[in-house]
Structure 1
Amino acid sequence: MLKFLSYSAKQIDALNERIGRITAWLTTLLVLLFCYDVLMRYVFNATNVAIFELEWHLFAIIFLVGAGYTLKHDRHVRVDVLYAKFPPKKKAYINLLGCLLFLLPFCFIIFKGAIPYIQLSWRIGEGSSDAGGLPYRFVIKSFMFLGFALLSLQAISMAFKSLLIIFEENQVEK
């Protein structure tokens, strides 16, 4: 059982690590795109709706797909005033309960609401309503599912690692 938990957590961590590193390159692309947009807007007094939309599409992808990576590296915002001083076993219990009671149910609610939303977008071939905008908005909406799937997987990995800490310490105490 412990080997399964450990192996599964490592596989999920490796997946989110690879995807996070790829996503990091999108951040570089986004910065370059912003620079281009600012240059065009303020130096040449020219704007492009597609460039503007691509900026927020890339930002959405980075935010959604990078959430699992961020959780893996424990970089989400939280109040650490008490948590930072807790021993590992107490942290493991808090992380386990947080995943099971808050994070995974929240991801489930997002899945339940997003699937019909994404399906409708694909069915109608949704694109930008702005002239000159990007035509494939349904693709960007699909990243909601991918992002929350990766976040859910990382929550499962976090829960497994918490269980490992709890079980291993209980075995040592016996």
Structure 2
Amino acid sequence: MRMLLQLSRIIDAINTVIGRLAGWLLLAAVVISATNAVVRKVFSISSNAWLDAQWQLFGAVFLLCAAYTLLKNGHVRIDLLTVRFSKRTRDLIDVIGHVFFLMPLTTLFIYHSYPFVINSLRLREASANAGGLLVWPAKMLILVGFVLLFAQAVSETIKRIAILRGDMVDPEDDSERSPVNETIESPERSLLDK
């Protein structure tokens, strides 16, 4: 289990770096979008390259940040039922969900996107619009994004199994909070208690 947890830490570190860097692409997409809109309205000048850059950057953010979002437990969940379950049961549901749903789904996307990406790369596919950008880098991000998401699913599965076995303390476990941390995290609550 120690080697698997080390693998999990490596995957987490890679996805943290990629996720944080890819987050900046959103700012670039917004700046390009705003600049393109202003230039188009003020100077009546537009470029297909700027339009292609916008959708490619938004796609890159979505694909490259999906694994980071899973790492940070930021994906949408339906907690209507699971909120009533014990922490152990929720961890078991996570393991089942990752192993039987997320990993097979990402494997399917990797399998089907690989020839799609290779063909686009081989053809050096470019935008059909005049003056547009190359398209193959954006298509390659589909494959990269799902590989990263699969790796993060493996990491999350390892961590949940380690927690279930007692080999690791859950960093998200609320029962480990001390009264000091509770006061620090909720100053208004401490004021109400006085």
Same fold (TM over 0.5): yes
Once the two structures are superposed, the pairs formed by residues 74-113 of structure 1 within 5 Å of their partners are 74-113=73-112
Decide which structure has the larger Cα Rg and report it.
2
The answer for the alignment partner of 1:145 in structure 2 is: 143
The DSSP-based 3-state class of the residue aligned with 1:128 is coil
Q: What's the offset of the Cα at 1:87?
A: 2.2
CA distance in 1, matches of 2:56, 2:123: 19
The answer for the alignment partner of 2:158 in structure 1 is: 160
The answer for the alignment partner of 2:23 in structure 1 is: 24
User: Is 1:131 the counterpart of 2:130 in the alignment?
Assistant: yes
The answer for the alignment partner of 2:181 in structure 1 is: none
Query: For residues 88 and 40 of structure 1, do their structure 2 counterparts lie closer, same or farther at Cα, with a shift above 3 Å needed?
Result: same
Unaligned runs of 5+ in 1: 170-174
Once the two structures are superposed, the pairs formed by residues 46-65 of structure 1 within 5 Å of their partners are 46-65=45-64
1:92-128 per-residue CA deviation (whole Å, 9 max, x = no partner) reads 1111000111100001111111111111111111111
Contact 1:13 1:157 in 2 (8 A): yes
1:99-158 per-residue CA deviation (whole Å, 9 max, x = no partner) reads 111100001111111111111111111111111111x21121111111011100100011
136-145 vs 98-107, which moves further: 136-145
Output the amino acid matched with 1:152.
F
Output the amino acid matched with 2:95.
L
Output the amino acid matched with 1:54.
A
Contact 1:92 1:166 in 2 (8 A): yes
Unaligned runs of 5+ in 2: 168-194
Output the amino acid matched with 1:125.
R
The DSSP-based 3-state class of the residue aligned with 2:73 is coil
CA distance in 1, matches of 2:114, 2:31: 32
Output the amino acid matched with 1:129.
A
The answer for the alignment partner of 2:71 in structure 1 is: 72
1:52-88 per-residue CA deviation (whole Å, 9 max, x = no partner) reads 0000000111111111001111111221212234322
Output the amino acid matched with 2:36.
D
Output the amino acid matched with 1:102.
F
Query: For residues 9 and 84 of structure 1, do their structure 2 counterparts lie closer, same or farther at Cα, with a shift above 3 Å needed?
Result: farther
Contact 1:5 1:164 in 2 (8 A): no
Relative contact order (C-alpha < 8 Å, sep 6+): which is higher?
A: 1
Output the amino acid matched with 1:44.
F
Using structure 2 for the length normalisation, give the TM-score. Answer: 0.82
Contact 1:88 1:165 in 2 (8 A): no
The DSSP-based 3-state class of the residue aligned with 1:133 is coil
C-alpha root-mean-square deviation of aligned residues, in Å?
1.3
